[in-house]
Amino acid sequence: MKIAICDDDISFTSKVEEIIKQESVNYGKKPEIDVFFDGETLVKSIENGQRYSMMFLDIEMKKMNGITAARRIRQLDRYTLIIYISSYDDYLKELFEVEPFRFISKPIQLEQLQRYCAEAIKKIEGLDNLFAYSYNKEEYTVPIKEIVYFESNKRLINIRMNDGTERSFYGKLNNIEKEIQKINKHFIRIHQSFLVNYSYVKRMTYSEVVLEHNYDELVLRISEDRRSVVRRKLCELAGGMQL
């Protein structure tokens, strides 16, 4: 679990870091914490491929404030949990657009910081269900529940996300299928080239499945040799509902 702390008060970041470490240990986590003293440095780290499960972000900082930093970060990472820590509450309206997880006012109350840290850890565990992959020597994760399907194109794997974006990396769909079945049973191999998330299946015909995501529909073909297996799997996932 990677965590970022970004605040231009050095003594304050040390205090927050110790509290986060202790709270993480209480939940059996071993966090890797990076500390930044301005928003610009944090943004550059993320632009270079770094990803964080959560970040504690001050608003009033030199070079780049926390609002501007979060806007840039959200363009690169929609999933990190942002917890603002600030002496100012004048920015509350602007915070909505970057979807913060929590807001803590300075001077901080220990119990509140501990509670929010615990809530963030539980939230991350709920998404535990993160699929990790590497591309161009950089490591990435995406929430499995946001994956509509995996597509294999020779050696390249494309991930279609619920928001319509795509991610790519090199790998074998057979290996991905084995890996993902260990943590999420809702993926169905409908074709040699497609591994789909049942959560997005709207309906099924004899030879096709219709996926619905982000207000759009997508039709994928079921290979002939997999039709009976796919039908049986869909019935199981639907709780025995006849298809």
Question: 143-188, pLDDT tens digit by residue?
Answer: 888 899 999 998 999 999 988 889 999 999 999 999 888 777 789 9
pTM for the model = 0.56
CATH 3.40.309.10 fits 130-237, yes or no: no
Fold of 2-126: Rossmann fold (3.40.50)
Instruction: Let me know: does 50 contact 44? Beta carbons within 8 Å.
Output: no
Among candidate residues 113, 125, 104, the one with its CA nearest the CA of residue 19: 113
In the chain, CATH 2.40.50.1020 covers 130-237
Phi, psi values for residue 77, rounded to 5°: -145, 110
Question: What is residue 172's predicted lDDT score, i.e. its pLDDT?
Answer: 94
Confidence of residue 109 (pLDDT cuts 50, 70, 90): confident
Specify the higher pLDDT residue, 233 or 173: 173
Question: 5-26, pLDDT tens digit by residue?
Answer: 999 888 889 988 998 888 888 8
Tokens in use for 208?
């096709």
